[in-house]
Amino acid sequence: MAREVGDPVALDMKTQSTNAFMSGGYALPWAFSPEHDSWKSTLQDFVASRIAPGAAQRTIDERFDPDLALAVGELGAYGLLVPTEYGGQGADLRSLCLATEETAVYDSSMAVTIHVQAISLALLAHLGKDHPDLLLETLPKAVTGEVFISFGLTEPTGGTDAGHIETRAIKQGGDWIINGSKQFITNSGTPFSKYVILFAATGEASGGRSPISAFLVPLDAEGVTVGPLYRKLGWRASDTHPLFFNDVRVPNAALLGEEGRGYAEALRFLTWARLPISAMSAGLVRGCLLDIDRFISERRSFGKPLGDHQAVAFQAAEVAALGSLARVMTYDGAWKYDHGHPIQQEAATAKLLSAEAANKAAYIATGLLGGYGFMEESAATRHYQDARILTIGEGTPEVQKMLIARLLGMGRRL
Amino acid sequence: MNIAVCVKQIPDPAAPWSLDPSTHNLVREGKLILDDSDAYGVEMALQLVDKAGAGEVTLVSMAPRNETSGLRTGLAMGAAKAILVTDDQLAGSDALSTAKVLAAAIATTEFDLVIAATESTDGYTGTTPVQIAELLGLPSVSFAKKVEIDGSVVKVDRQTEAGYDEVICPLPALVTVTAGVVEPRYPSFKGIMSAKSKPVVTLSLADLGLVGAAGGAVAGQEIVSVQKAEARQAGVIVEDDGTGAQQLVEYLEQLKFV
């Protein structure tokens, strides 16, 4: 925002709270370098001035904003985990978690847009590492946001049983012919959406399930149909569509990684992807706390500010504690990943607890705002809508508990 | 086109602040950040160098304790290097001392243009830039809302109360820019990482030959007391009993507004 002569300096978000916890969340000095701090500060300034102002209206209108998406690309958020030789930032997981966390303080729709693009690009770089020409052709423009690459796994009959894939790719000469459909595919219908990393069954089933391969499929290939925009409860300003594949022909060069190993390799590689979702939960909780703080500071009842009533202040304190939990769990896992430690337990635990914390925080926030917490223009209402998917996407609580139980050595049959 | 940009590193305005009870100066302990006012000058300089197709932007700052956090932000935006003057003797400097130090630091680098903000967010004297110009023997143009380089001159639209003046000034020169001049970019992730390795030259008063000529000991300005601003008085409430408009006009006439 331009400032005219004599006007006070625009401090954007920083003017909203002088409380370090409110503006930055539970402090974790051990987890971050000075460069992480600079990145967080840039993100906060960007979110406050570019993302926050229109977040409510975009959500109400279910409107994905292409200009905003491009501005996020200029900042460098999409390619954080892409190697520098492909135009990426070559950054660590904490940097991506900071991006999704700070964005979700105001706009979970944009946060998931970043998340999906970032994990898709990282996965493409990983699965396609034997195809440098393909990566050089696709990744540099995807890093800037000029090209979106979506992640096509979920099917109408899939869900938690993601390995049950009915989309099939059959080899024909030197090409693959793909038939099937995918649903709930984020970033697949934007003006920048050019590719989908598609998971399809290839070959014959052995032991009950067909091997699953990954392909990079252009969305403008003949036979690909991008279905209509989903009307969603939350993440309403993100772009989500079904995809249909009818005799889609792609060359063998579109096969990512080893034939029949794409799904297994993607699952193994993407263990960390639960942590940026956990970070979104932490950001959403802070967004709830900011809206609570604004409301209970301004609103008076029985002759004093709402926040001076212990029954209210205790609920705000609980939201703060939930946010602390989500933040600690997120960055504990991300720090360990960045330092080469295994994170299966950390990722599942963080995702489980943070997503549930976000739902509880949003429930408290909407309650504290009373009638305003039921109005669509209210931030608390938006957070309430956006919180629900956090316990569903990237694995339900039951999936996380199953993973944790396995790591405890319980129930190999789970 | 080489441009030196004066940048101030200040305590975070969002953090609690305090004044030293004996000197009445702002306490500058802890991390300092780039003054938001200076982000416009950095951006303007980057755009001018980019348009010129050659040259670089050098940040010049004076700060305690070798503080570089704010400089790193400017470097992350795209500046090539920074000069930091840091010296315990600079504590308590007034605007003229600061100008002497910054002018001497700027003189250590090649420049065609010096850019500064109209005033800092924490001090608000607004006098340092023109003093730097005077000390360097440069013409100065203040309150620029538009800056263009045209060969050997700088063309400035200078904000005034009535509109703006078009000023043409020979280079080298010093220009102070308002917040309306350009929209500062956000440091990208790449910029933040590359800023780590950009050079920051640290100089002392002795390096600049200013021992005894600048700093708190020779400050000609002293803050003798600080008082809280008076709380705003309640305004006049005009109840419209049918003569509201007339009452308003009379009130404005009384204030000589009409």
Chain A contact present for B12, CB below 8 A: yes
Q: Which of A205, A230, A260 is the last residue of a domain?
A: A260
Q: Which of A260, A287, A322 is the last residue of a domain?
A: A260
CB atoms A75 and B179 under 8 Å: no
CB atoms B143 and A45 under 8 Å: no
The Cα–Cα gap between A368 and A307 comes to 10
Same domain, A301 and A389: yes
The Cα–Cα gap between B24 and A137 comes to 60
What CATH number is given to the structural domain containing A161?
Answer: 2.40.110.10
**A154 falls within a domain:** yes
The Cα–Cα gap between B67 and B70 comes to 8
The residue in chain B having the minimum alpha-carbon distance to the alpha carbon of residue A50 is B186
Kind of pairing between the strands at B173-177 and B140-150: parallel
> pLDDT at position A301, please?
92
* B44 DSSP assignment: H
The number of beta carbons lying within 10 Å of the beta carbon of residue B27 is 12
Q: In this prediction, what percent of chain B has a pLDDT beyond 70?
A: 100
Residues in B touching A75 (Cβ below 8 Å): 186, 188-189
CB atoms B193 and A89 under 8 Å: yes
Q: Which of A244, A260, A276 is the last residue of a domain?
A: A260
Chain A contact present for B178, CB below 8 A: yes
| pLDDT digits 0-9 by tens, B128-165 | 999 999 999 999 999 999 999 999 999 999 999 999 99
The Cα–Cα gap between A295 and A48 comes to 18
The Cα–Cα gap between B185 and B57 comes to 15
**A324 falls within a domain:** yes
The residue type at A92: D
Same domain, A240 and A294: no
The residue in chain B having the minimum alpha-carbon distance to the alpha carbon of residue A40 is B189
Q: How far is A187 from chain B (nearest CA, A)?
A: 22
Q: Which among B36, B178, B196 is the nearest to A11, CB-wise?
A: B36
CB atoms B14 and A18 under 8 Å: yes
**A13 falls within a domain:** no
> pLDDT at position A18, please?
58
Same domain, A153 and A140: no
What CATH number is given to the structural domain containing A347?
Answer: 1.20.140.10
Number of domains in chain A: 3
Number of domains in chain B: 1
Whether pTM exceeds 0.90? no
| pLDDT digits 0-9 by tens, B25-69 | 888 887 899 999 999 999 999 999 999 999 999 999 999 999 999
Residues in A touching B13 (Cβ below 8 Å): 9, 11, 14
Same domain, A124 and A177: no
**B241 falls within a domain:** no
Q: Which among A7, A10, A38 is the nearest to B192, CB-wise?
A: A38
The residue in chain B having the minimum alpha-carbon distance to the alpha carbon of residue A46 is B186
Chain A contact present for B188, CB below 8 A: yes
> pLDDT at position B232, please?
82
**A2 falls within a domain:** no
Same domain, A195 and A225: yes
**A229 falls within a domain:** yes
Q: Where does residue A261 rank: exposed (0-12), middle (13-18), buried (19+ CB within 10 A)?
A: middle
* A189 DSSP assignment: S
Chain B contact present for A144, CB below 8 A: no
Hey, what are A276's tokens? 């940026």
* Active-site residue (options: A101, A102, A265, A394): A394
Residue pair A373/A384 in contact (Cβ under 8 Å)? The answer is yes
> pLDDT at position B185, please?
95
CB pairs under 8 A between A and B: 77
**B234 falls within a domain:** no
Chain B contact present for A20, CB below 8 A: yes
The number of beta carbons lying within 10 Å of the beta carbon of residue B186 is 21
The Cα–Cα gap between B135 and B146 comes to 25
The residue in chain B having the minimum alpha-carbon distance to the alpha carbon of residue A8 is B121
The residue in chain A having the minimum alpha-carbon distance to the alpha carbon of residue B31 is A34
**B256 falls within a domain:** no
Q: Which among A3, A15, A91 is the nearest to B179, CB-wise?
A: A3
Is the predicted pLDDT of residue B73 greater than 90, yes or no?
A: yes
Residues in A touching B183 (Cβ below 8 Å): 2
The Cα–Cα gap between A303 and B63 comes to 47
Kind of pairing between the strands at A175-186 and A168-172: antiparallel
Chain A contact present for B41, CB below 8 A: no
Same domain, A170 and A242: yes
Same domain, A135 and A236: no
Q: How far is B163 from chain A (nearest CA, A)?
A: 12
**B252 falls within a domain:** no
CB atoms B180 and A10 under 8 Å: no
Exposure pattern of A297-333 as b/e (b: 16+ CB <10 Å)? eeeeeeeeebbeeeebeebbeebbebbbbbbbbbbbb
Chain B contact present for A35, CB below 8 A: yes
| pLDDT averaged over every residue in chain B | 93
Which range among A67-71, B204-208, B232-236 shows the weakest confidence by mean pLDDT? Answer: B232-236
Exposure pattern of B148-183 as b/e (b: 16+ CB <10 Å)? ebeeeebebbbbeeeeeeebebebbbbbbbbbbbbe
**B35 falls within a domain:** yes
Exposure pattern of A343-352 as b/e (b: 16+ CB <10 Å)? beebbbbbbb
The residue in chain A having the minimum alpha-carbon distance to the alpha carbon of residue B39 is A9
* A47 DSSP assignment: I
Q: Which among A9, A17, A42 is the nearest to B192, CB-wise?
A: A42
> pLDDT at position B20, please?
86
The number of beta carbons lying within 10 Å of the beta carbon of residue B56 is 17
The number of beta carbons lying within 10 Å of the beta carbon of residue B236 is 9
Q: How far is B37 from chain A (nearest CA, A)?
A: 7
Return the SS3 of A16.
coil
The residue written with tokens 């920051």 in the block is B200
Q: How far is A155 from chain B (nearest CA, A)?
A: 35
For A49, A215, A220, A356, B50, the CA distances from A248, given in Å and listed in that order, are 43, 12, 10, 40, 46
Q: How far is B190 from chain A (nearest CA, A)?
A: 6
Residues in A touching B145 (Cβ below 8 Å): 5
Hey, what are B15's tokens? 């953090």
The number of beta carbons lying within 10 Å of the beta carbon of residue A220 is 10
Give the largest CA-CA distance in chain B: 74
The residue in chain A having the minimum alpha-carbon distance to the alpha carbon of residue B17 is A18
What range does the domain containing B109 cover? 3-218
Residue pair B20/B27 in contact (Cβ under 8 Å)? The answer is yes
> pLDDT at position A87, please?
96
The Cα–Cα gap between A98 and A100 comes to 6
> pLDDT at position B217, please?
87
Q: How far is A21 from chain B (nearest CA, A)?
A: 11
Residues in A touching B33 (Cβ below 8 Å): 41
What CATH number is given to the structural domain containing A89?
Answer: 1.10.540.10
CB atoms A9 and B36 under 8 Å: yes
The Cα–Cα gap between A167 and B193 comes to 42
Chain B contact present for A76, CB below 8 A: yes
Same domain, A53 and A175: no
What range does the domain containing A84 cover? 19-144
CB atoms B13 and A35 under 8 Å: no
Q: What is the CA radius of gyration of chain B?
A: 21
Same domain, A403 and A271: yes
Chain B contact present for A44, CB below 8 A: no
**B53 falls within a domain:** yes
* Nearby residues of A259 by Cβ (< 8 Å), 6 or more positions away: A202, A203, A211, A213
The residue type at A118: A
> What are A148's strand-pairing partners?
A193
Chain A contact present for B200, CB below 8 A: no
| Closest of A404, A410, A300 to residue A348, by C-alpha | A404
> What are B62's strand-pairing partners?
B85
Is the predicted pLDDT of residue B121 greater than 70, yes or no?
A: yes
Chain B contact present for A74, CB below 8 A: yes
The number of beta carbons lying within 10 Å of the beta carbon of residue B137 is 8
CB atoms B121 and A9 under 8 Å: yes
> pLDDT at position B220, please?
86
- Quick check: bond before B16 cis, omega within 30? no
Q: What is the CA radius of gyration of chain A?
A: 22
The Cα–Cα gap between A368 and A388 comes to 18
Residues in B touching A4 (Cβ below 8 Å): 178-180
* Segments in chain A below pLDDT 50: 1-16
What CATH number is given to the structural domain containing B51?
Answer: 3.40.50.620
Whether A137 sits among the annotated catalytic residues: the reply is: no
> pLDDT at position A309, please?
96
CB atoms A18 and B16 under 8 Å: yes
**A30 falls within a domain:** yes
